């Protein structure tokens, strides 16, 4: 992230764009390169490549879609947060709802914006986040305000009496996200255990954790939750189903 004492007007802000739609990426790159102090240093069309480039290039800002091949945007943000990568991650998504924003912030993003955001507003947000400002749907927050925003939303979703901020809406682990993908494909716990080479009880424990973190009651609700928010790509589900039919 931009060093202390640097003038945000003069300093070069390095940006990476992560989206699997080439036309969207090209348009976004053209928009940003019109700005004197913004440089697009990398583009990626899938999650695994994005993670690799983020580690190698250390951009100041990552513009990140949620629905990506191989690894979704929340997984990327979570891993970079655990690795203490200092990139300011702006989640740009067509899946615009408040719970999605909550997941993005808890995964390590510093801004959450709909893809139909006005171009100059996006440029403004890029300049804000490199200086420690959080942004949700164009509204700005400091550190204390964003923590209050998160706590209020968690309590509103789970209720004021049984809430534990360390349980609900916590980012899913890589294994939990993998199991959730199989759940959306209609796999049973036994099938998932066989495919991953782990015990049936381990799968049950992971599924229970997923339900708690997403604050849903059963596997069907978890699958719907994931698909509605773009965490699982429908083409991957279709491909898996087709492979089963061919076997």
Say whether 89 sits in a helix, a strand or coil. strand
> What residues are paired with 43 via a beta bridge?
17
Helices (H), the chain: 22-33, 47-57, 73-82, 98-107, 119-129, 143-158, 174-184, 189-196, 200-214, 219-228, 234-246
The answer as to CATH 3.40.190.10 being correct for domain 13-150 is: no
Domain with CATH 1.10.10.10 in the chain: 174-246
Residue 38: its pLDDT value, please? 95
Tell me what pLDDT residue 161 has.
52
What pTM does this model have? 0.80
Determine contact, residues 235/217, Cβ cutoff 8 Å.
no
Determine the pLDDT at residue 241. Answer: 42
Nearest to 147 by CA among 165, 163, 130, 129: 165
Q: Cβ(72)–Cβ(109) under 8 Å?
A: no
Residue ranges of the chain assigned to CATH 3.40.50.2300: 13-150
Task: Report the C-alpha gap between 220 and 181 in whole angstroms.
Answer: 12
174-246: in CATH 1.10.10.10: yes
What whole-number distance in Å separates Cα of residue 46 and Cα of residue 9? Answer: 31
Beta carbons within 10 angstroms of residue 10's beta carbon: 8
Give pLDDT, residue 198: 94
Q: Which two tokens stand for residue 99?
A: 């719970």
Q: State the 10-residue block means of pLDDT for the chain, 247 residues long.
A: 52 93 93 93 94 96 92 92 95 85 93 92 96 94 94 75 63 90 92 94 94 91 90 62 36
Length of the chain: 247
**Cα 176 from Cα 210, distance rounded (Å):** 7
Report strand pairing: 38-44 vs 13-18. parallel
pLDDT of residue 166: 62
pLDDT at res. 246? 32
Nearest partner of 214 among 236, 204, 229, 203, judged by Cα: 229
User: What does the pLDDT read at residue 203?
Assistant: 95
pLDDT, position 242: 36
Per-residue pLDDT at 164? 60
Whole-number pLDDT of residue 210: 93
User: What pLDDT does residue 243 have?
Assistant: 38
* The dihedral formed by the CA atoms of 233, 100, 161 and 78, expressed in degrees to the nearest 10: 80
Q: Take residue 154 and report the two structure tokens written for it.
A: 């968690």
Angle at Cα 67 formed by Cα 61 and Cα 68, nearest 5°? Answer: 75
Instruction: Check residue 7 and give its pLDDT.
Output: 54
For 199-203, the CB contacts below 8 A with 24+ separation are 203/179
């Amino acid at each position: 992230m931009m060093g202390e004492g640097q003038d945000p007007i003069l300093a070069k802000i390095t940006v990476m764009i992560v989206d699997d739609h080439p036309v969207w990426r090209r348009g976004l790159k053209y928009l940003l390169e019109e700005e004197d102090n913004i440089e697009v240093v990398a583009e990626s069309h899938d999650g695994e490549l994005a993670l690799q480039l983020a580690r190698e290039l250390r951009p100041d800002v990552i513009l990140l879609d949620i629905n990506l091949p191989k690894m979704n945007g929340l997984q990327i943000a979570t891993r970079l947060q655990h690795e203490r990568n200092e990139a300011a991650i702006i989640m740009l998504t067509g899946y615009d709802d408040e719970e999605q924003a909550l997941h993005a912030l808890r995964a390590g993003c510093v801004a959450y914006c709909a893809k139909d955001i006005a171009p100059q507003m996006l440029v403004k947000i890029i300049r804000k986040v490199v200086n420690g400002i959080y942004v949700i749907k164009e509204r700005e927050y400091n550190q204390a305000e964003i923590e209050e925003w998160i706590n209020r939303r968690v309590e509103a979703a789970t209720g004021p009496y049984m809430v534990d901020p360390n349980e609900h809406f916590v980012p899913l682990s890589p294994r939990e996200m993998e199991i959730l993908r199989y759940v959306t494909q209609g796999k049973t716990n036994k099938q998932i255990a066989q495919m991953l080479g782990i015990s049936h009880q381990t799968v049950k424990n992971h599924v229970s954790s997923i339900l708690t973190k997403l604050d849903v009651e059963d596997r069907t609700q978890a699958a719907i939750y994931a698909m509605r928010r773009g965490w699982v790509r429908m083409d991957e589900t279709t491909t898996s189903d087709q492979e089963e039919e061919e076997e």
